[in-house]
Structure 1
Amino acid sequence: MMSKFLSRARLIAYLPGLKTLRSTVLCQRSFSNSVLQKQCNEEERKTNEGIDWPDTKLGPLSEHDKRFSLPGNVGVVTQLKQQPQPIAASPDQTTYDVLYKPLRHDRHAAVFAQFVNAVSESEESAEEFMKEAYKNPKNILEMIAQDCPPSLVKGFSELFPDVDLSKGHVTILTLCQKTNSDMSGWSSEVEVEREELLENFITSAVEICKSLTKAGFWADFIDPSSGQAFVGASNPNTTLFETDERFRKLGFEIEDLGCCKCVRHRDWGTHIFVGTLFTNAPPDCDEMKEIMFNGME
């Protein structure tokens, strides 16, 4: 089960867990070429479907409409009434005048209303998913792709010495896994669960970076065990662990326990494992949507 919420600078997805993401990205990468080709063919078919050629947008290449005999595609009322142009509307009407054709602002209003409804439905779906998640003891994975706060760009640039993050867009993708154990303490159970989550995260993150790189973007992630870049060159003098204070600006809380610090989720408390990826792919680009949502419906 999965829910999603999309905005201009923030993309959120909820999945059953890192195991699901790991298996999905591996399968997705194996069949990515055939899937993308199929999607392109389908989009092309939908684009061409229902178009009457020649297309009026082609200007001089299109066939002239005899009803508009005057310059500037202007016609007289008698001519228009003699040859009514039907358009899609209510079923009880049989003929229409061109003046009934929706105006541009009408179409804009309709598209905006559809967008508002879609966002509302997404928010409601996310809320319903979280309610069900609390009833189900299974692990939950929260994926959030968001624009990097400008105040953090310079500091994060030091993590990747061979990349200048100050030039261009920077997106941070956080993978937050709800855990069975309380990660604020230590026990054999905590260690075993963390090692398993670490393995699943690294496998998933490597495949995600490969997918984004193949699409023409730069992507790298932080190894939670070392706090340094995994794919490209790393800076031994700079690290980023999940208890770093900068995570506060990414939506997490950092709790000081006296002897140590721990990261806290707004809903799951300290029952979490956090992994972080960096890329210059925008949060709402097609490649990011495919990674987070494809095959999860």
Structure 2
Amino acid sequence: MSRRQRTQRGCITLQPPRMMPDGLEVSLHTCPRALLRELDHVFPGVDLDACLAIPTNQKAGMDLVAMGDTVETEKDVLLNSFASFASGLCKQIREAGYWADYIDPCSGLPMLSGGTKVYSEVEGMQLLLQYQVMNAGNCKVLLHPQWGSAVYPASLFCTAPSDFVQRLLEERLVPRPAPVPA
């Protein structure tokens, strides 16, 4: 797969999905016009002309369409893993002087910008990665090509240059050694 791949829907894949040491599958994309129109409502007042999308997916230990305490516990673990990754990456991007935010997978709302419009992770993954979806009652469920519905999608967005974001992602590919007790 080429490093830059234009999808059928107008976005450019700058970094195809790849697995990070912390278990998140991460990719980097330019935002197609349809997504930018949606993001204008999700992040009001932000100049999104050069916005990049950073969709992530985590493999769940079970089908997340099911209900029950075990599924909710699994979702909490996956949420915490994403929040740690997203808050750290957004902090690095913001400290460099660029705008960045991530979506709360539970509510669909921005975590840092305070918007009130919900972002659909399933529709975003469908648009950016061409992943399939299925209907489960009134809900659309994402189907990962390898993991099926045992997937936890969550996204970040930023206005940093793509080479800067790619460098930050490359740095995260190297597992950090555990601290040595003194």
Structure 1: tracts of 5 or more residues without a match: 21-139
Deviation at 1:233, TM superposition (A): 2.3
TM-score, L = length of structure 2: 0.81
Deviation at 1:229, TM superposition (A): 0.8
Deviation at 1:184, TM superposition (A): 1.6
CA contact (8 A) 1:176 1:273 kept: yes
Number of aligned residues: 165
1:7 aligns with 2:10: no
CA contact (8 A) 1:221 1:278 kept: yes
Aligned to 1:153: 36
Within 5 Å, give how 1:1-297 maps onto structure 2: 6-7=3-4, 9=12, 10-12=14-16, 13-16=18-21, 20=22, 140-165=23-48, 168-235=49-116, 238-243=117-122, 245-251=123-129, 252-283=131-162, 285=163, 287-294=164-171, 296-297=173-174
Aligned to 1:133: none
CA contact (8 A) 1:5 1:11 kept: no
Percent of matched pairs sharing the same residue: 28
Name the amino acid aligned to 1:6: R
CA contact (8 A) 1:148 1:170 kept: yes
Q: 1:281 to 1:189 in 2, by over 3 A?
A: same
TM-score, L = length of structure 1: 0.51
Which one has the bigger helix percentage? Answer: 1
Aligned residue for 1:180, secondary structure, equals coil
Structure 2: tracts of 5 or more residues without a match: 6-11, 175-182
Q: 1:215 to 1:186 in 2, by over 3 A?
A: same
**For the residues of structure 2 that align with 1:180 and 1:5, how far apart are their CA atoms?**
31
CA contact (8 A) 1:205 1:221 kept: yes
CA contact (8 A) 2:20 2:172 kept: no
**For the residues of structure 2 that align with 1:163 and 1:144, how far apart are their CA atoms?**
22
**For the residues of structure 2 that align with 1:295 and 1:254, how far apart are their CA atoms?**
29
RMSD: 2.1
Deviation at 1:253, TM superposition (A): 2.1
Which one has the bigger strand percentage? Answer: 2
**For the residues of structure 1 that align with 2:170 and 2:113, how far apart are their CA atoms?**
26
Aligned residue for 2:166, secondary structure, equals helix
Q: 1:224 to 1:253 in 2, by over 3 A?
A: same
